[in-house]
Homo-oligomer: A and B are copies of this chain.
C-alpha cells in the first residue's frame, strides 16, 4: 500500500494544541498526489495535456487521536472502488513509527491511528467542471 510521510508544522495546528481537523484533508491530498506521481502522473501536466482534472466530490473522516506539532505522520492511499468517472480511496493517517519525536518521549505502542477517511474523486473538464470519463491511460497507471 502506498504511504507518504507528512510532518506537522505550526501552520497545521490550532489553539487546542493539536492539528486542526480540516488539515487532515490536506495531508490526505498530498498523499494522493504523491501516489499519482509515483504512478507517473503529474496533475499539472495532466491538466495541460488533457484539459481535465480530478475534483473531490465526497469526504468522510473520523478523527480518532490528535496529532501534534513535530509529529511525523504516515498517510496511506488505497483504491477501494474504481469506476469510469470516479474513484473511491481509503486513507489512513498514523504516527510514523520510524522517526516520530514522541516515540522518544514515551513507551506508547506505535503507530497509533490518528485519522481515517474515504475520499471520492471524479474527473471533470477543467474549464466547464462538467463530469467526464477518466482518461484510460490514467486508469491504467493506477492498476
Contact = CB atoms under 8 A, between A and B. Distances in A.
A135 interface: no
A63 B70 contact: no
Interface string A14-38: 1111101111011001100110010
A3 to B, nearest CB: 16
Contacts of A50: none
Interface string A69-109: 11000000000000000000000000000000100010000
B129 A18 contact: yes
Given A45-B105, A59-B61, A70-B43, A11 B16 contact: no
Given A9-B30, A60-B59, A101-B42, A69 B25 contact: no
Interface residues of A, number: 43
A57 interface: yes
A92 to B, nearest CB: 15
Nearest to A23: B22
A11 B20 contact: yes
A10 interface: yes
B29 A9 contact: yes
A7 B67 CA distance: 22
B69 A43 contact: yes
Given A30-B9, A44-B101, A63-B55, A18 B21 contact: no
